[in-house]
A and B are shown apart, each in its own frame.
Chain A
């Protein structure tokens, strides 16, 4: 069934123009509906994620369902405060006046979601768009078809379908959607499609948020609690959708001296987590489809790289599973070190001194996240000060996404714009500047004909110089 996207947009624009989505009551009702939907259908959501990704129930609950509900609850709690105008400072240059910033919705938003956290990455932006009072079209990823279908069904049942619509489909539908005139586009995915989205948006001068990815490095120093650190690396890598996460640790940098200790610790903890037959573990996601499976095996089977595997490497093509795999010192120019891995392969790059790791990071595109495990304050400060990434997490991985008071977004190749918490509300709002002036105290020096005296007075006023004002007034 081909959806007429132009009609969809026309309908949503009409709904938006009617003012319905601007009211607090409407926004509140929709956010509550999302929570109810997630609660009532938790089992089906977990099923869909199992079908699309073989995602363990734990990940489905913690990473996706729970996070969406938290976002709704936070928005509900803060919505009145977020919606209220913010006072702005005025100075003597505009005296007497009062200034404020009023948040208003943008209009009709297009949200294009992705396949790795198909529930979360579809609904989290929707929460922000609705909280800000917009109408929304959601385009879930066709690469996670069970979740896409479920979202279409559930949102249709629970949400106000005159203002919130799901359009399923693949490239043709997405292209048709991108031709429309949106008030904002929110895209999660890769840089290649990100460029296409941005180019399409340019035709209508539509502002865009791009949540992309990159190679998020983990620097592991010595003199740390190695057991805890390795668990946290594993947690962010294999226990996060089998490495198919935009902020997954992509590769590790450590010293030559420490590498073997780190590898031993990783192997030991991996076995505790997934047993000695990880391809059979029930707690590991599978690779999403055969196209990505082939992409990953190609990275591993590369002759420059194959011999560097120090652990893992097992593949199960039928079930699209790859075991947690660690590689040591692959060549800098190998494909695995030049593309975002997005899978269960972890290259470890060694350096002489741990400080050199910062140069390794600087030689590459700015990533979405960067991680450091250390107890050395000096190294921590240098890392924080000089590593540019969307976000940093020290002594843990991926957790910074769960803190809603932190903006989540990229920089350079890893994206533009941010969201989460109030940043989501702001992302889908226009901050309108309002200046209120009175008729009293009109300064004739503003108006022509311009004289030297008027200029002197105005200069003094703009400089806030009392003496200058007096001089100009009294002609000194």
Chain B
């Protein structure tokens, strides 16, 4: 509940009561992506339901087992007059987009994000777009146990999150040149411990979702300059759609692997003269969904925060912002707009309705025409909070301002 006086309403318009009431938007549409097919369908659904809306969820057809699971199980537990799961591919998506929704929530690629937003424009439907981008790791000089923990967090964050197929997934690493050899060595050891010695013994890691994406990721390694920069891994198992954790050292910056979102288990390491150069490197590229910075240098932390723009910044860890409900989760620029998680989910699916309540008594005459010099001066003084002036005016001790409007 807000009080008049906090705002700029002169006290002359007292008494009044102001408040903001959240209300549901109506019928909302949620598009889920295939990489975290259960949580990216249900997490927004939780927000939509808690805000009081009715919902259609369209899971991704690229994760068919999860899609059919949701279509089968959700109606058994939730009110299926208000919550529906609609399965299908792009033809179904197109039909859904022809309808009028009160809000559309989309998780996916910028390309499809444009299509969704264009369709929404026809009905003036607001949208939230959770997209992606090339999320970099900046690695400052660390050593000892700090470096060991860092390497674990990088390995776990990169390959342990759907084999790199994550919107906030680590895309590439920026590190000072002289630290690169140590980093590569520690990463190799860590990969072997976490995921297995080689492609034949690969375990604890997701596969690539389908043949299309498998070929897309493998093609990133086709460029001879890129292939030459592989320092670990690079093997794949076409039958099982597995690609082993792969590290590259300074692939060409204009190759696709460094201009497109990788969305796979390839980790380019880009070396710089100085870690501070990472800021310029990141700013030359589209805003990512997340920036991960491993450093103990307070000055560098603040500089990076001030001088780069991203959905979020995480210091000394990876991926974990996803489970911090006190923080809004969303992008900026090409990584999207809108946000959710925690209360932000509720807000994203709500309309904040402004309400002002006035009473009938204490009427203010000068509000109304016909206006004259006296009234105009009165209001002018009131809006300037000049109560002494007002008193003088009322006592006839102040010169009146005169002017007339003319046709």
Q: Which residues of A contact B (CB under 8 A)?
A: 17, 19, 22, 50, 54-58, 61-62, 66, 70-71, 73-74, 88-91, 93-94, 97, 99, 101-102, 104, 106-107, 183, 191, 194-195, 198-199, 201-203, 205, 207, 210, 212, 224-225, 228-229, 231, 234-235, 239, 273-275, 281-284, 286, 319, 375, 380, 384, 388-396, 399-400, 402-408, 411-413, 415-418, 421, 430-439, 442, 446-450, 462
Candidates A57, A101, A406, A449; contact of B20 at CB < 8 Å: A406
B299 within 8 A of A: no
Q: In the complex, A231 Cα to B368 Cα: how many Å?
A: 8
* Interface flags, B5-47, vs A, CB<8A=1, else 0: 0111100010010101101011000000000000000000000
Judged by DSSP, the binding face of B is mixed
Q: Which residues of B contact A (CB under 8 A)?
A: 2, 4, 6-9, 13, 16, 18, 20-21, 23, 25-26, 102, 110, 113-114, 117-118, 120-122, 124, 126, 129, 131, 145-146, 149-150, 152-153, 155-156, 160, 193-195, 203-205, 283, 305-307, 309-317, 320-321, 323-329, 332-334, 336-339, 351-361, 363, 367-371, 375-376, 379-380, 383, 403-407
With A205-B131, A395-B358, A437-B314 as given contacts, are A235 and B113 in contact (CB-CB < 8 Å)?
A: no
Judged by DSSP, the binding face of A is mixed
Chain A residues contacting B155 (CB-CB under 8 Å) are 447
A50 near B405 (CB under 8 angstroms)?
yes
Q: In the complex, A282 Cα to B273 Cα: how many Å?
A: 72
Chain A residues contacting B407 (CB-CB under 8 Å) are 54, 282, 286, 319
Name the residue of chain B whose CB is nearest to the CB of A87: B326
Q: What's the minimum C-beta distance from B309 to chain A, rounded to whole angstroms? A: 6
Candidates A281, A431, A436; contact of B328 at CB < 8 Å: A431
Name the residue of chain B whose CB is nearest to the CB of A388: B23
Chain A residues contacting B369 (CB-CB under 8 Å) are 56, 58, 239, 273-274, 281, 283-284
A437 near B316 (CB under 8 angstroms)?
yes
Chain B residues contacting A101 (CB-CB under 8 Å) are 327-328
B114 near A202 (CB under 8 angstroms)?
yes
A393 near B358 (CB under 8 angstroms)?
yes
With A437-B314, A438-B316 as given contacts, are A405 and B18 in contact (CB-CB < 8 Å)?
A: yes
27 A-B pairs (CB sep. < 8 Å) = A50-B405, A57-B405, A58-B371, A61-B383, A70-B383, A88-B327, A91-B324, A94-B323, A106-B332, A203-B114, A205-B114, A205-B131, A228-B360, A282-B405, A282-B406, A282-B407, A283-B405, A393-B356, A395-B359, A396-B16, A396-B356, A403-B2, A406-B354, A416-B126, A430-B332, A432-B311, A447-B152
Chain B residues contacting A91 (CB-CB under 8 Å) are 324-326
Q: In the complex, A203 Cα to B363 Cα: how many Å?
A: 50
Closest 5 CB pairs of A and B: A448-B204, A89-B326, A391-B354, A198-B121, A400-B356
Q: What's the minimum C-beta distance from A426 to chain B, rounded to whole angstroms? A: 12
Chain B residues contacting A282 (CB-CB under 8 Å) are 370, 404-407
Besides A205-B117, A239-B368, 12 other A-B contacts (C-beta < 8 A): A57-B403, A107-B309, A207-B337, A275-B370, A403-B9, A406-B355, A432-B305, A433-B324, A433-B327, A435-B317, A437-B316, A439-B149
Q: In the complex, A106 Cα to B351 Cα: how many Å?
A: 23
B358 near A396 (CB under 8 angstroms)?
yes
Chain A residues contacting B314 (CB-CB under 8 Å) are 434-437
With A283-B369, A431-B328, A433-B327 as given contacts, are A399 and B13 in contact (CB-CB < 8 Å)?
A: yes
Candidates A17, A421, A448; contact of B195 at CB < 8 Å: A448
